[in-house]
């Protein structure tokens, strides 16, 4: 079941949902609009390796905007820091963004209960498009769950995205690969 605007406000009053900064005009009937932060990241190397820590370069989006190109993959970040302690948050692109040919996530639209951070956006575009810091970029939708939570995301030993950041965070897939034991000589 998706939370309505009233339920989102009730859960915020209880502290089970945190949105900061919060602007009541961004609260829809069953979602909350989030905005593009001022920092984007691009991977340094064209060839990425899932076993390696692929490095990124950061760039600031000027107030005059920045043109995104179809042949590049960008990591963005929401201006909003969120916490979700009892619900499953989903981040979806706004229809106006989709109609500009902007995708804001490749696969990671669902958050976990216990996720506390800004949202890294996986941005690709269909044609060149200028984006601006602070523009509405997506909407958070909150789903109720059934049952108790054994281990919230932030408490999991395997959680890789728990360090609070106002910048996009690159893939931490490399942390999933264990070092193989040294071969005997």
Q: Catalytic site residues?
A: 122
In our burial notation (b when 16+ CB lie closer than 10 A, e otherwise), range 121-159 reads bbbbbeeebebebeeebbbbbbeeeeeeeeebbbeeeeb
Cα–Cα distance for residue pair 55/44, rounded to 1 Å: 6
How many DSSP H helices and E strands does the chain contain? Answer: 2, 13
- CA triple 15-20-26, angle to 5 deg: 100
Residue 58, CA distances (Å) to 43, 67, 119, 146, 176 in order: 9, 15, 16, 40, 24
Contact 118, 18 (CB under 8 A): no
């Amino acid at each position: 079941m998706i939370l309505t605007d009233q339920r989102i406000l009730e859960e915020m009053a209880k502290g089970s949902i945190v949105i900061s900064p919060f602007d009541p005009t961004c609260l829809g009937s069953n979602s909350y609009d989030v905005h593009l932060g001022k920092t984007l990241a691009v991977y340094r190397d064209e060839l990425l390796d899932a076993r390696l820590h692929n490095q990124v370069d950061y760039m600031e989006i000027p107030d005059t905007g920045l043109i995104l190109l179809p042949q590049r993959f960008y990591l963005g970040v929401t201006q909003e820091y969120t916490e979700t302690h009892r619900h499953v948050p989903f981040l979806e692109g706004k229809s106006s963004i989709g109609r500009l040919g902007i995708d804001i996530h490749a696969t990671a639209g669902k958050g976990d209960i216990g996720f506390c951070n800004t949202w890294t956006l996986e941005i690709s575009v269909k044609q060149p498009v200028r984006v601006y810091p602070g523009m509405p970029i997506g909407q958070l939708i909150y789903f109720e769950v059934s049952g108790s939570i054994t281990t919230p995301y932030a408490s999991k030993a395997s959680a890789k995205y728990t360090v609070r950041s106002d910048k996009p965070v690159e893939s931490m897939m490399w942390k999933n690969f264990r070092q193989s034991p040294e071969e005997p000589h």
